[in-house]
A = this chain, B = another copy of it.
């Protein structure tokens, strides 16, 4: 029971792209180097993010990846969902409707999900800025 490395890489990459000056596409080569990953592997993760509508891709020279234009200030949950999918963390093995164990587990899961939906990547950018400002003082 653990989030995959892919989710980890996806979150880091998203943050990097959010910091990139607008309209500036970044190639997978550069993104991979930063996290010490092979470009082909990261590419598969980026394709998932693209299909989820979080980033945009363009092939060819001057191509690469950038934040999707009509992206809506994505939350942590949006990124996680793009990589891990949306399945429940717990499905009761005894199939009768209204299993109370399942109900309890779902409620706990909801608590985590709610937090991840409320937290946006932009919140982190802001936190970093504030941290830097505090250090300069």
List A residues at the B interface (Cβ < 8 Å): 1-5, 7-9, 11-12, 15, 35, 76, 84, 87-94, 100-101, 104-105, 107-109, 111-116, 119, 124, 127-128
Contact = CB atoms under 8 A, between A and B. Distances in A.
Contact of A9 (B90, B93, B109): B93
Contact of A111 (B15, B92, B100, B114): B114
Consensus secondary structure, chain A interface: helix
Contacts of A15: 101
A48 to B, nearest CB: 15
A102 to B, nearest CB: 9
A35 B108 contact: no
Q: List the 6 closest pairs (A to B, CB-CB), nearest first.
A: A112-B112, A108-B115, A111-B111, A8-B93, A108-B112, A3-B90
Contacts of A119: 104, 108
A100 B127 contact: yes
Contact of A4 (B1, B7, B104): B1
B1 A94 contact: no
B107 A5 contact: no
A111 B127 CA distance: 21
Contacts of A128: 100
